[in-house]
Homo-oligomer: A and B are copies of this chain.
């Protein structure tokens, strides 16, 4: 499966960490700290993130991975009979091996649009659950950017947040690719606004320059209690929590987190522009670092000789949708070469 000779647009976790992060790991390596996320690096990282949020009244927990963050948060927030509403394309529904159900909770899927949920999806889901013979919808799961590359506008998130509050639903945002969303040209949301509109969300490190790590932000008070018990019970409280703290400290000390995401977006945009210039159909006009072009099979096959990417699905006998992902580490010269090759084929 490895393809060392090809340049990979397969995902945004193909490389290690941003060099500044590795440098910080090396420099702090022999400093003795307490374990389990109570070291000074974790504390500094949390303070830095609170600074970016402009809020001091949130709880920040650094957790190794995305699936883990989703399952810990959701299972901590829900009572046994309560369920999650998620889009059909949601990561928890499709790509987490039933992790949420393994904690006992049903996921109610809604079609949504472009990977996003709207207030009418929420209403429909809630209205369909009328009594104790059915689960009780309690938490709405969304991703920003979504699994298909789209992002939420401020108006969309405000509407969704308002619909959730009216119906006493919690709103949870999976931010595995939040960096890409926030630095998108089309974005009009700030970290601080997100914190005001959702009950909890996470800021993805793994897909934006860290080796591992997601920063869960719990905004709503009654969800905060005893949260570290849940992290520990699910096996996610790293003995050397410093590994997470040091990374997030570097990402948020200055503007590194945003710079890295912006680079990924710029690289994706160059590729998307090239595809559009050749009238190549796309799943949607992507504002983030994931592009889903539909290619003639011979083009797709020819490209696959020199580049690595995921096949998304067969569209018809002659066409295939692929996924191209850029990252903080994507080299611009590789992108240029890919574009040249692409244009030669389309």
Contacts and interface: CB of A to CB of B under 8 A. Distances in A.
Given A29-B16, A80-B75, A240-B16, A98 B106 contact: yes
A233 B65 contact: no
A134 B104 contact: no
Contact of A235 (B13, B79, B206, B234): B234
A26 interface: yes
A17 B38 contact: no
Contact of A81 (B30, B65, B206, B229): B229
Contact of A64 (B30, B34, B132, B238): B238
A10 interface: yes
A270 to B, nearest CB: 19
Interface in A1-26: 1-4, 7-8, 10-11, 13-17, 19, 22, 25-26
A76 interface: yes
**Count of chain copies:** 4
A105 interface: yes
Nearest to A242: B16
Interface in A123-149: 132-136
A14 B2 contact: no
Interface string A198-212: 000000001100011
A219 interface: no
Interface string A59-74: 0000011111111100
A99 B2 contact: no
A228 interface: yes
A240 B13 contact: yes
Contacts of A229: 81, 97, 132, 135-136
Interface of A: 1-4, 7-8, 10-11, 13-17, 19, 22, 25-26, 28-36, 38-40, 64-72, 75-76, 79-81, 83, 94-99, 101-107, 132-136, 206-207, 211-212, 226, 228-240, 242-243, 308, 329
* Closest CB pairs A-B (n = 9): A68-B235, A81-B229, A16-B29, A98-B106, A97-B233, A13-B239, A98-B135, A67-B235, A132-B228
